[in-house]
Amino acid sequence: MSALEHKFYPFDTLGGYKFADVVAKYDGKWVFCRHKGRTTWEMAGGHIEAGETPLEAAKRELFEETGAIHFDIEPLCDYFVEGDLRGVHIEAYGQVFYAKVHAFGELPPESEMEKVELFDECPKELTYPGHTDELFAMIVAKDR
């Protein structure tokens, strides 16, 4: 499991981003995915590839990890994360986006995800519990 510390900042204030994450909703429900071989849920997201902007990475990750093919996406916040995750020390910056998904297609064959599910509330079995819980609270406050 993870032992990651994180801190959130206003969007586009940190720079040097390594990760892009997406908090997503579809038809009023939260979109979470589960990696093959894991029992925990997470938001779509991952490494920003060479030549990609964080927004491009967020859109790609949302498709690759949930199959979302039509969505509106907007910036939410930046974050700094540090700690050990599955034996690897991580110290990096990331950006978080909020997406309202309108349509899903199939997961691409190369997807790392086993399952995508919709939830009325944030699931309890999270891969990154503190990080996800705080982002979930931000979106709930934003949607009010």
Question: Residue 111: which CATH number?
Answer: 3.90.79.10
Q: Residues 35-40: what's their mean pLDDT?
A: 92
pLDDT, tens only, 130-144: 777 788 777 777 664
pLDDT given for residue 142 in this prediction: 67
| Residue 2, pLDDT score | 47
Lowest mean pLDDT: which of 43-52, 113-122, 127-136? 127-136
Beta strands (DSSP E) in the chain are: 2-9, 17-26, 29-35, 44-47, 68-85, 88-104, 113-119
**If pLDDT is split at 50, 70 and 90, which confidence band does 14 have?**
very high
Segment 49-64 mean pLDDT: 97
Looking at 5-9, 12-16, 97-101, 102-106, which range is the least confident one?
5-9
Identify the H or E element spanning 112: none
Q: Report the percentage of the chain scoring pLDDT > 90.
A: 69
Beta-strand pair 2-9/68-85: antiparallel
**Which domain range does residue 18 map to?**
2-143
The number of folded domains in the chain is: 1
90-116 mean pLDDT: 93
Hey, what are 98's tokens?
């909020």
